[in-house]
Structure 1
Amino acid sequence: MSSNVSTNRESKAKITKKKLFKSALKLFKEKGIENVHIEEITDLAGVSKGSFYTHFKSKHDVVLEHYQLIDEVYEEKYKELEEANLSLTEKLQTILLSGFYFCDDMDFDFLSAVLINQLSSPNDETFINNPNRKLYKIVKSIIEEGMGSLEFKNEENEEFYVGVVLVFYKGLFLEYSLLKDPTILLSKFGEKSMNKIIEEVLIKKD
């Protein structure tokens, strides 16, 4: 097989996956994930049903792929704030809040699908808990800097503080999903509690 043929096939596969992805998200937002059938997704994308399973294991995998874009949001916000005249506390709060804002467009139905996907995953290490995630590295970097500058406590090691902040942060996503109230935005639900836990756990008191 020539390299040109191989490249052409890869290009077509990417286009098909993108069509399926966009069609699925459109239908999920219109009808709710559980009310959408695979055939509806492939019909809207203009491809065969078999094509869906070439690229995704299930509808929930489509949602997870969309959710994984959240790490790009964290990274973009982190870079944006590098030169900002903010305390490390404010930078950390702003970065984590950007994740809430991203999920405001997903609503609890999407977030519930992500949780279902991760809970049913046979892997020991899921995306949400992966220590190689950009989110984990960003939070760790900020906390390490804060401990060095004495803005943050140093009674424990940085892994302890990273763990506490992220466990609480991820817990807010879970609590929000359990509310099942489309009238409440995640950013409104979680901001005050998130900021409070960061202040209590991290900030060094005089």
Structure 2
Amino acid sequence: MNQRQLNALQTRESIFKVALELFIQNGFENVSITDITQKAGTAKGTFYTHFKSKDQVIVEHFKGIDRYYEEVLEKLTDEGSNYEKIITILREGFLYTENIGKELLKVVLINQISGNEEIPYVMDKTRRIYRIVLKLIVDGQKSGEFVPDRDPDELVMAILQHYSGIYMRWCLLEENETLSELGIKSLKMLIDSFKA
């Protein structure tokens, strides 16, 4: 990577971090591109070189989470059931989000339900988390671990809709449990119903 590419990458990362910081402080709708570029010390054109819109900053955040899901999957051995692998990956997603914090999660969720995208990124079937869970469900159906007569896409959508709902509940309610404790308990009840 040459110096110019390195500088561009650093500028993009700076804009990204500043935007997320402002979204958390002021709310997504109350932050303009001008606010972001002024605080980042860049021009508006520079923002648009790296991001098409404020919404894309939020999508980039989700892409980071998806990369993390893949890292977790790569660390899992071939041992263990597909059920255990799904639970482990989704638990790690909860822990990742706990570390980021509830305020940023609220910004992300508000953005995703705002209707600015035809298919919100959190529910897009091209996401890595969708493909990972689909593969584990299909493998589990082939091995006899999960019911074979159910459409694997429907099972994945049920899991991920439930998963998204847990995030929403954690944001809206003051829970005594952590996101991972609350989420895994609930997800296990759902996924148990898919077992053969």
Shorter-chain TM band: 0.7 to 0.9
1:75 aligned onto 2:67: no
Structure 2 match to 1:92: 86
Alignment match of 2:145 (pick from 144, 148, 151): 151
Structure 2 vs 1, CA of residues 152 and 166 (structure 1 numbering), >3 Å: closer, same or farther?
Answer: same
Deviation per CA, 1:62-119: give whole Å up to 9, x if none: 3432232111111111111133x31211111001111111111222221221122222
Whether the 8 Å contact between 1:61 and 1:117 is mirrored in structure 2 is no
Query: 1:137-184 CA deviation, whole Å, 9 max, x = no partner?
Result: 1111111111111111123221222222122112111222222x4975
Could you tell me the TM-score, scaled by structure 1's length? 0.77
Instruction: Spell out the pairing of 1:107-186 with structure 2 (5 A cutoff).
Output: 107-179=101-173, 181=174, 185-186=178-179
**Corresponding residue number in structure 2 for 1:193:** 186
2:195 to 180, 200, 203: 203
Unaligned stretches of 5+ in structure 2? Answer: none
Percent of residue pairs bearing the same amino acid type: 35
Which structure has the bigger radius of gyration? 1
AA paired with 2:106? S
Aligned residue in 1 for 2:60: 65
Give the match for residue 106 of structure 1.
100
Q: Secondary structure at the match of 1:128?
A: helix
What RMSD, in angstroms, separates the aligned Cα atoms of the two structures?
Answer: 2.9
Segment drifting more, 61-70 vs 158-167: 61-70
Query: How many Å separate the matches in 2 of 1:122 and 1:46?
Result: 27
Question: Where does 1:10-49 land on structure 2 (aligned, <5 Å)?
Answer: 12-26=7-21, 31=25, 33=27, 41-48=36-43
Deviations 1:181-201 (A, max 9, x none): 49753212212111221112x
CA contact (8 A) 1:42 1:48 kept: yes
Cα 1:183–1:26 shift into 2, 3 Å: farther
CA shift for structure 1 position 24: 3.6
Conserved 8 A contact 1:74-1:135: yes
Q: Which amino acid aligns with 2:155?
A: Y
Task: Show CA shifts across 1:22-79 (max 9, x none).
Answer: 33445666x4646877666545533346644554423x54343223211111111111
CA distance in 2, matches of 1:33, 1:99: 23
Query: How far apart, CA to CA, are the structure 1 residues paired with 2:183 and 2:47?
Result: 35
User: Any idea what SS the aligned residue of 1:68 has?
Assistant: helix
Q: Secondary structure at the match of 1:124?
A: coil
- How many residues are matched? 193
Task: Report the more deviating stretch, 168-177 or 31-40.
Answer: 31-40
- Say whether the 8 Å CA contact 1:74–1:98 is kept in structure 2: yes
For 1:47, the aligned partner's letter is T
Question: Structure 2 CA distance, aligned partners of 1:195 and 1:32?
Answer: 36
The CA distance in 1 between the partners of 2:99 and 2:176, in whole Å, is 12
SS in 2 for 1:69: helix
61-70 vs 162-171, which moves further:
61-70
